Amino acid sequence: MEIKEAIEILTRLRFDDDDISIAIEKAIYALEKQMPQDARILSMSQAEGCVGYWVCPVCRSGWGDEFEYCPECGQKVRYADE
């Protein structure tokens, strides 16, 4: 095997590994978003000045309705009464 050929193979492998690593990272991130996390509810006094009464456990954005997924970051959420 020529050195050049070995370098080409190693270069290809390195990129493959990067792509696989990135793909795995993205898949884990997407799967984590599907695992429901508890939305926090704010008391009326805490909710003052906030968009809503529920708070996303991941991105901390607030909302008023009981969405299945955080409208801001896409995290699946569950509520205390479920």
Nearest approach in angstroms of CB 60 to Zn ion is 7
Q: From its phi and psi, is residue 49 left (phi > 0), alpha (psi between -120 and 50) or beta?
A: left
Q: From its phi and psi, is residue 57 left (phi > 0), alpha (psi between -120 and 50) or beta?
A: alpha
Residue 22, interface with Zn ion (CB under 5 A)? Answer: no
Is the CB of 53 or the CB of 70 nearer to Zn ion?
70
Nearest approach in angstroms of CB 59 to Zn ion is 3
Q: Which one of 54, 56, 62, 63 is in contact with Zn ion (CB under 5 A)?
A: 56
Q: Which one of 33, 72, 76, 79 is in contact with Zn ion (CB under 5 A)?
A: 72
10 by DSSP, 3-state: which? helix
Of the candidates 36, 34, 77, the residue with the CA atom closest to the CA atom of residue 53? 77
Q: Which one of 10, 13, 22, 73 is in contact with Zn ion (CB under 5 A)?
A: 73
Residue 55, interface with Zn ion (CB under 5 A)? Answer: no
